[in-house]
């Protein structure tokens, strides 16, 4: 069938609602709930990484497979100096149907959906959409993409051999906001089973992926081992050095600054912070390879200790 008018944008809107604008990941079971004109319509390919529905001229969605910690993820090597993303052809034939579908999406300036695997059993995906194909680099067998909202999509400015340095900085910043930050969040939350490490709170809408070492630092990389799942209150307390995590051979131990331990206030302070002092965190990743780096924890704990001495 020819691509139904409105289906593509409807699917993007549906995914935004289903994921709370990218805050929540989705499974294939979740995606099976999508309907168009009352009928089920698959949004993701079952076998191939690129979904171009039968009869459509352009690709609807692409998929990047999940990679475990320590394995190279495709997106990590796909960000160019211009801040744009590179997505490899399928195979090496430029006329392969999936490659033609991506090329047609580029020429027709159509948004596509990007599903990035963040865990297995069951498979979970971070949704990045809309994504636009801006160009093609056939000598490298890859397309050039940008994860921008429709109102920010200005392809004539984003392509070309020469771009202003200010535009490159903007593109890199937008790629971080629209790709790396949500992907980091989903990957860390998946590792912790959508539970706050400190208090075991289990509502992902109210959870964050905290950087142990901030991303402004050279070694503050957006990796699972530099992240920890925290609820909003404990994330804020951790970032402001009210709460520290002392590294041990086992689970990190929660410590609270002395001035907060001495303070008399309501039940939130008592149960949310004071009662946790000296206790190990409640939740750790299921897989040891996803445990927070002791080296990074030690760096953050030193910052927490310095903040206490300066108070």
The predicted model scores a pTM of 0.80
Q: How many domains does the chain have?
A: 2
The parent domain of residue 280 ranges over 192-310
**Domain for residue 173, yes or no?**
no
- Would you place residue 61 in the very low, low, confident or very high pLDDT band (cuts 50, 70, 90)? very high
Closest CA to 274 of 311, 240, 234: 234
- pLDDT tens digits, 173-189: 777 777 888 889 999 99
Q: Are strands 124-137 and 142-146 parallel, antiparallel or unpaired?
A: antiparallel
Domain co-membership, 196 together with 304: yes
Does residue 220 sit in helix, strand or coil? coil
Shared domain check, 207 and 156: no
Over pLDDT 90: what percentage of the chain? 60
Q: Is residue 172 part of a domain?
A: no
**Nearest to 83, CA basis, from 153, 175, 156:** 175
**Residue 280: Cβ within 10 Å count:** 16
pLDDT at 163: 52
The pLDDT assigned to 222 comes to: 79
Residue 181 within any structural domain of the chain? no
User: What residue ranges in the chain does DSSP mark as E strands?
Assistant: 26-27, 35-36, 39-40, 50-51, 61-64, 85-88, 112-119, 124-137, 142-146, 207-211, 227-231, 243-246, 253-256
Which pLDDT tens digit goes with each residue over 75-122?
344 677 777 888 888 889 999 999 999 999 999 999 999 999 988 878
- Give the CA angle between residues 191, 20, 36 to the nearest 5°: 110
Same domain (yes/no): 26, 148 = yes
* CB neighbour list of residue 217: distance below 8 Å, 6 or more residues apart: none
Q: Are residues 280 and 199 in the same domain?
A: yes
Which tokens go with 207? 């959870």
57 pLDDT higher than 90:
yes
């Amino acid at each position: 069938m020819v691509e139904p008018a409105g289906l593509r944008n409807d699917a993007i809107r549906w995914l935004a609602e289903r994921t709370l604008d990218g805050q929540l990941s989705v499974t294939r079971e979740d995606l099976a709930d999508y309907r168009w004109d009352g009928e089920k319509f698959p949004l993701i390919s079952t076998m191939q990484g690129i979904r171009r529905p039968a009869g459509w001229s352009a690709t609807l969605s692409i998929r990047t497979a999940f990679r475990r910690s320590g394995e190279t993820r495709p997106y990590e090597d796909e960000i160019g100096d211009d801040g744009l993303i590179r997505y490899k052809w399928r195979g090496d034939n430029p006329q392969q149907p999936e490659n033609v579908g991506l090329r047609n999406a580029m020429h027709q300036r159509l948004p596509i959906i990007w599903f990035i695997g963040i865990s297995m059993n069951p498979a979970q995906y971070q949704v990045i959409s809309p994504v636009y194909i801006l160009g093609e680099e056939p000598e490298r067998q890859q397309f050039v993409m940008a994860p921008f909202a429709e109102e920010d999509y200005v392809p004539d400015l984003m392509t070309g051999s020469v771009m202003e340095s200010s535009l490159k900085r903007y593109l890199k910043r937008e790629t971080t906001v629209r790709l790396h930050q949500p992907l980091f969040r989903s990957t860390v939350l998946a590792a912790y089973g959508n539970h706050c490490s400190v208090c075991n709170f289990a509502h992902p809408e109210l959870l964050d992926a905290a950087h142990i070492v901030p991303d402004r630092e050279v070694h503050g990389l957006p990796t699972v081992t530099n992240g920890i799942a925290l609820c909003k209150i404990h994330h804020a307390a951790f970032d402001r050095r009210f709460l520290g995590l002392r590294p041990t051979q086992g689970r990190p131990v929660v410590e609270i600054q002395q001035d907060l331990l001495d303070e008399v206030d309501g039940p939130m302070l008592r149960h949310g912070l004071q009662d946790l002092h000296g206790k190990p965190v409640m939740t750790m990743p299921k897989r040891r390879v996803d445990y927070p780096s002791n080296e990074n924890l030690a760096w953050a704990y030193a910052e927490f200790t310095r903040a206490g001495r300066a108070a």
